[in-house]
Structure 1
């Protein structure tokens, strides 16, 4: 409950500060840039500073596979949700529905609710997301072939670099020289000794891990404040007057995560893909996020129903703020019923 109320209260604080003029027009963009360039990369990297066993490896690889499969599935399924729209609008709405704000909106909430394991799973899940976001989504929205600048964005993004660096270090920690150190818990050394990889900075270099932790802890409040300031700068009346953003939001924050949840439960029951509670809950939260900022930027840049995309982003953000606590509660109920490990 405290994680949920923190999310809502800080978003409302950003909304209030923007409405009162205490925060200016550019503050939201500045907060977003700081979060995406510094805080979230630190959060993603630090999430991999933990032991790796057979179960953790299996869960991580399962999340990676599902993160690729689900986007391929959504690319084919989402256009059928908008059959009554003309081709151009249908394509834009389908892409808006497929790609949510998993990095900026999802990871901070996952980190607050499910801790470092949730952040690690969300970072792995986002690998497939970024591959399709900077390739398929760009090609469909621009009408052009794959551009070199998008390949550069895909691999030189600070979050991608931090994720792959952390992932490779996590996977290879048993293959590198080991050192024996006092075990540190929450940045405080204990009397217990353990052998860890020399680059496990959470155990071997607290002087480096601690500043990264401070930066990582900024991710959630910065993201939530930026979301609030963005909501506070848009006319609610104008955005709410159109029915399309509401229908889109229903699909984005309810239907898409529901599809993920049902499929993952069925796969678990059949034994084809067994993910634990934190992994499944992380995926559901990530898929219940509002419109991805990158896709909105594509719509504006290439003049693809830019006003509709902006309204959809606004309404879906409000809807996601309302639905996120509900989804987290639903996942708690499912866990208590023993449907997930």
Structure 2
């Protein structure tokens, strides 16, 4: 299939187009509501807190409520391996792109480039484009992200040794708990006591559905009364996250942030070059069969890496007075650029799906 045909197929796909428009329209709505003062300054933080403590944990946990087979297990493990390897690569590579800056500024920009808003910005978009399988892969991918964010990034930004309180943050976190709990349950489900149930699809059981055997804790099949409330909470993640992003953008002066050329240079590295680096390496690893990866896993990783500054990394910069103003400006500009660039990445991934390189 030629490029023109692939592009036509991509933009005639209602799921892809609606994912792009949903993201943009709801972010713009949040921006408008903030500019009109319908949302006050505190709304963005309040919405993000709801997303991080309620909606995303439910989303992460429910994403593992699906059967395991050889392919999904293999893909999940490959995503986990790459999720650790890519942060080691970025930690080594990103300082090179800021070699002209003083050491302190170079270190901060390298950290901000390495760690994006994969949880808050990335996962809702992954869910909209790739569904539950994409969310599951994104949750697995984030394991490496959180290991390095709460260890290496903290040590580098603070200049101190790792504190016990920060190790606690790494694990005592609703999203992390839901991810590890869901991952363990997904991995061992075939070894747990099985029950026979009539198969449910999206929480609905049809009278003529086949009888299947699943682990007793597969609540999507055995306890729909519990699965559905979690699904309702999970469904809040995307719209609330996008409203919060829009409200946050509406609270900041774009003119002041845009005056800093370093913020634009950083944002281009973060939103364009980092996902492009992932794409090139993963294509090579897939073609050479060193690390075979599916299209859904690839698309999930690229979207996760095309995200703006991580809130935690930005908080480190502010808390430890490490280029706090630059960090805030970079966070704002990279969010704007990510909103603009994400539709292009999603469209490009759609074209790539027609290439035959990935299954």
Q: Structure 2: how far apart are the matches of 1:197 and 1:229?
A: 42
5+ unaligned residues in a row in structure 2: which ranges? 1-16
Q: Which residue of 1 aligns with 2:101?
A: 85
Cα deviation, 1:39-88, whole Å, max 9, x if unaligned, reads 00000000000000000000000000000000000000000010110000
Residue 334 of structure 1 and its aligned partner are, at CA, apart by 1.1
Q: Which residue of 2 aligns with 1:28?
A: 44
Cα deviation, 1:253-277, whole Å, max 9, x if unaligned, reads 0000000000000001111000100
Q: Which residue of 2 aligns with 1:235?
A: 253
Q: Which residue of 2 aligns with 1:112?
A: 128
Q: Structure 1: how far apart are the matches of 2:116 and 2:131?
A: 21
Q: Which residue of 1 aligns with 2:187?
A: 171
Q: Structure 2: how far apart are the matches of 1:104 and 1:139?
A: 23
Q: Structure 1: how far apart are the matches of 2:273 and 2:95?
A: 13
Q: Which residue of 1 aligns with 2:312?
A: 294
Q: Structure 2: how far apart are the matches of 1:242 and 1:71?
A: 27
Quote the RMSD (CA, aligned, Å): 0.5
Q: Which residue of 1 aligns with 2:296?
A: 278
TM-score, length basis structure 2: 0.95
Q: Which residue of 1 aligns with 2:80?
A: 64
Alignment of 1:80-159 (within 5 A): 80-159=96-175
Q: Which residue of 1 aligns with 2:342?
A: 324
Q: Are 1:210 and 2:210 counterparts?
A: no
5+ unaligned residues in a row in structure 1: which ranges? none
Q: Which residue of 2 aligns with 1:248?
A: 266
Q: Structure 2: how far apart are the matches of 1:78 and 1:208?
A: 44
Secondary structure at the counterpart of residue 15 of structure 1: helix
Q: Which residue of 2 aligns with 1:266?
A: 284
Residue of structure 2 aligned with 1:3, choices 11, 15, 19: 19
Q: Structure 2: how far apart are the matches of 1:136 and 1:33?
A: 24
Residue 338 of structure 1 and its aligned partner are, at CA, apart by 1.1
Q: Structure 2: how far apart are the matches of 1:104 and 1:216?
A: 13
Residue 335 of structure 1 and its aligned partner are, at CA, apart by 1.2
Secondary structure at the counterpart of residue 161 of structure 2: coil
Q: Structure 2: how far apart are the matches of 1:243 and 1:176?
A: 56
Q: Structure 2: how far apart are the matches of 1:229 and 1:188?
A: 35
Q: Structure 1: how far apart are the matches of 2:104 and 2:128?
A: 38
Residue 339 of structure 1 and its aligned partner are, at CA, apart by 1.8
TM-score, length basis structure 1: 1.00
